[in-house]
Amino acid sequence: MTTDFAALKRIALTVRMLSVDAIEKANSGHPGLPLGAADFATVLWANFLRFNPRDPSWAGRDRFILSAGHGCMLWYSLLHLFGYDLPMSQLQSFRQWDSKTPGHPEFGMTPGIETTTGPLGQGFANGVGMAISAKMLAERYSKELFASRVFGLVSDGDLMEGVAAEAASLAGHLGLNNLVYLYDDNHISLAGETKICFTESVPKRFESYGWFVQSVDGHDMQAVQQALTKATAESDRPSIICCRTTLGFGSPNKANTHDVHGAPLGAEELKATKRNLGWPEDKSFFIPDDVSKACANLLETKVAAYRKWQEQFSAWEKSDPTKASGLKLQLTRTLPASLKQNLLNAFTDGKKDATRNLSGKAIQVIAKEVPYFVGGSADLEPSTKTQIKDSPEIQKNSFSGKNFRFGVREHAMGSIVNGLAYSQCWFPYSATFLVFSDYMRPPMRVAAISHLQSLFIYTHDSFWVGEDGPTHEPIEHVMSLRAIPNMYVYRPADGMEVAMSYYAALSRKDRPATLIFTRQNVTPLERPSGFNPDSIMRGAYVVAGAECSDLAIVATGSEVGLACDAAKLLKAKGVSARVVSMPCMELFREQDASYREQVLPARARKVSIEAGITLGWERMVGANGLCIGLDHYGASAPGELIAEKFGFTPNAVAEKILRFSTGK
């Protein structure tokens, strides 16, 4: 740890100038945060954060999260100065096409970027998931090797968002002493001073959550260093350091105003800022030699710590080869070769059951074979059937289990699961009722953008919820989740489809999955002789009536059984139809044209059946197809009665299809 604060001040000044030069060149960006937060961020990176730019994915590293993602030039500048593969040309290409320095940090695009941030509060909650991940790894393998920490920079905007409150509450409950956030307390937001809408006592709020709270001058490096030393010594609480700063520090005419928050300084103000801070006015993207040398010296210390860790890791591997082998499988998220067949074997009894119960069976099979399959529900384990049996819960000072108690915190739950997924060594899942996916769309969208393997499990998937009424009966939700690019949405019809949907979701490591299950019972489908379950992983397949190519009924989930029953009634009236189950639209659209034609012939008149909105089904059945669905909200009554009233019975469906097929 260096106490040469003069050298650190020079590094911070360079971070400021690189940031404002990049923003000015792009004519776009947020200079206020890099100018204001550079001092305390530099102390953190120089003296506390463990990393090695030559091995960015080192398993023993600390994580840094810039939850206030709009200030990303701060992060990019630090990455460049500390030797990551982010050359000056990339800083000069800030916010430009195909650069590695986009306008908000994006996971997987830039070396050293740990999270995709920008939607405020998401990074805050991701960090809670990452801190939990580190605790779990330490408990399972080695507390010495995995004593890593999560540091983050959070803003006023982050702390205004409700997701941060949810996540902070759970972090305090769990006593995550490996989580340290620095709050850039600058009293300015994009629209003006924060006092126009944000006057609470942040320190008292976090004290009530059970956090260790300190307040310092964010420009006093020595005070910041002392506060970080105390925070990292905490034994049973997460920490937040409230760093009072000046937004746009150094800008003579814009500092401490909202004008510097989200717009370039402008050519004249940029010159005035450089002059005010003693920086050469005529130089852009300039790094003084003494700063390069200081960063290189600091990096040598970090690389030496990295080498020592590698030596300790090698000794541990030799002393405990069984655990080492398990860790290797976990870090690669390897699936056992037996998993698919064992999942299928769990559903051979042929009994009626709700797919939420079948999902519960699948979860037990997966958890038994895959130790790094973990997750929980938003206070709904008894209803979602997602609790892993024979495994303890994650609680304070106890991180060996697989079950999470997220409480009624859906938004934070999704974002924390993403934090576990960013760690890239878990198959993490969340669970709640489908209607509450509205609370989770932000983390679901970020998971899709970031190519995270987060699993979002939803039950109670339609009006069949019944007596709870319209507030709890999802109508628009399934199709709205399908609208998220890069998200696979699975709505299985029976046990075999449940098994293969889970297997497909676990097999695709670069995309999130949504798995949607019923409350009501379904009957196992009668499939053709010799049916190959792998067909389910192609998104859609023919369940019955393969010989018919003139009329095709496409359905998902519980409506596949309804379609089969309606097809039998149609056949008795002389109308033949094939029935297609489509558990995953996204997978089906990825298939080659010949397979899609084989399942849904172009010449066939097509019908869709789904207990939800019809919008979107025209992509599958065509503009002239028949979409049987529900384009209004539900009602409070027993599910069977609602089905009758809404026309979701075999007779009612067969009658609609008969009129459609005959044109009468």
Q: Give catalytic residues, as residue numbers.
A: 410
Q: Do residues 465 and 473 lie in contact, with contact meaning Cβ atoms separated by under 8 Å? A: yes
DSSP string, 355-382: HHHHHHHHHHHHHHH-TTEEEEESS-HH
Amino acid (1-letter code) at residue 114:
E
Q: Do residues 240 and 181 lie in contact, with contact meaning Cβ atoms separated by under 8 Å? A: yes
The total number of residues shown for the chain amounts to 664
CA–CA dist 79, 257 (Å, integer):
28
Q: What is the pairing mode between strands 150-155 and 179-185?
A: parallel
CA–CA dist 591, 325 (Å, integer):
36
Burial of 386 (0-12, 13-18, 19+ CB in 10 A): buried
CA–CA dist 382, 356 (Å, integer):
11
Max alpha carbon distance in the chain (Å)?
Answer: 89
Cα dist from 340 to 113, 246, 333, 345, 362, whole Å: 34, 57, 15, 9, 10
Measure CA of the first residue to CA of the last residue in the chain; give whole Å.
83
CB atoms within 10 A of CB 394: 21
Q: Do residues 361 and 347 lie in contact, with contact meaning Cβ atoms separated by under 8 Å? A: yes
CA–CA dist 573, 267 (Å, integer):
79
